[in-house]
Amino acid sequence: MWFWFSIIALICWSGSDLFSKIGCQDERDKYSHLKMVTAVGVVMGIHAAYEIFIGGTEISWSIMLTYLPVSCLYIVSMAMGYLGLRYIELSISSPICNSSGALVAVLVIITGGIGSIAGMQLLATALVCVGVVGLGIVEAREDETLRARRQEASNHRYAKSWIALLLPIVYCLLDALGTFADSRVLEVLDEDSANVAYELTFLAVGLVCLLYVVVIKKQKLIPKMEAPKYGGAICETAGQFAYIYALADSEHVALSAPIISAYCVASVLWSRLFLKEKLSWKHYSMIGLVVVGIVILGLYDA
């Protein structure tokens, strides 16, 4: 089941990328990333309540504290990602952010936890990693004239800067560490309890952000502007639910992590369809590598 959970996470998180970009792209709202954290925290809190009171998921302070380092890595990385969406295009940000899957595979292989994997599976993992990383490189090296045309079509202007590129890179590093730590912690924690611990921690952080934005900074929450954020939050929560089960299979973490990281491929497609951006043959070639890798992994798990 790790393969199908990985695919569900891929679809949901690509939707989260799109809605989050729409909700955070207004450069006039300097607190949009904190509002996004609040939206995700609220939705995850609702799901956590369902899991505890209806699903009967076990949760305790001990579980919360055990999972806290992983939760912090994920939450901080996501906040950095939301902040970066204000300064950089989704088609650039998402591939850079989600190169973390390639880093996870490398970490797992280095530490000897990859287990027994067939040669074709290793090849498929390499294809996914190369495709995801290559997509980020293609975007970063895109011709400035083509970039200008794309930005003109989407009615948003972005300038290359170290800060704009640094934010998704920070996300990538923190998310890779979180995913690697996750695979280890889930060896001693039940995945349902770990997921609820993460959601409750996110809820707490979201409420703190809400207090800061609304009470201290006296910012108004306009429903029309907040709606995309909650759309992204719902997709994020659904993706997280599938992700936690995919990573719970520690023997396949070096395979599931690259598949999940490939959700940036769908994010790039959504950005072209809904944010008026275009793909070049280089983009399609990188996407092709990822798709082939995912299909091979799926066939070997059948």
Give the Cα separation of 48 and 67 in Å (integer). 15
Give the Cα separation of 18 and 21 in Å (integer). 5
Model confidence over 71-81: pLDDT tens digits? Answer: 999 999 999 99
Give the Cα separation of 232 and 223 in Å (integer). 14
- Longest CA–CA span in the chain (Å) reads 57
pLDDT at 53: 96
**pLDDT of 302 strictly over 60:** no
Q: Which residues of 156-174 are buried (b: 16+ CB within 10 A; e: fewer)?
A: bebeeeeebbebbbbbbbb
Q: Which amino acid is at 123?
A: L
Helix 2-24 with 61-84: angle, nearest 10 deg: 50
Give the Cα separation of 42 and 131 in Å (integer). 34
More confident residue, 35 or 241: 35
Give the Cα separation of 292 and 45 in Å (integer). 37
More confident residue, 276 or 75: 75
pLDDT at 280: 75
**Stretch among 59-68, 161-170, 178-187 having the lowest mean pLDDT:** 161-170
Q: Which residues of 246-263 are buried (b: 16+ CB within 10 A; e: fewer)?
A: bbbbbebbbbbbbbbbbb
pLDDT grade, residue 266 (50/70/90)? Answer: confident
User: Which single residue is written with the structure tokens 């207090």?
Assistant: 211
Calculate what percentage of the chain has a pLDDT beyond 70. 84
**pLDDT of 115 strictly over 60:** no
How many Cα neighbours within 13 Å face the side chain of 41? 23
User: Which single residue is written with the structure tokens 């207004």?
Assistant: 26
Q: What is the pTM of this model?
A: 0.79
Cβ of 79: how many Cβ atoms within 10 Å?
20
More confident residue, 264 or 68: 68
Give the residue-averaged pLDDT of 137-142. Answer: 75
Mean pLDDT score of the chain: 83
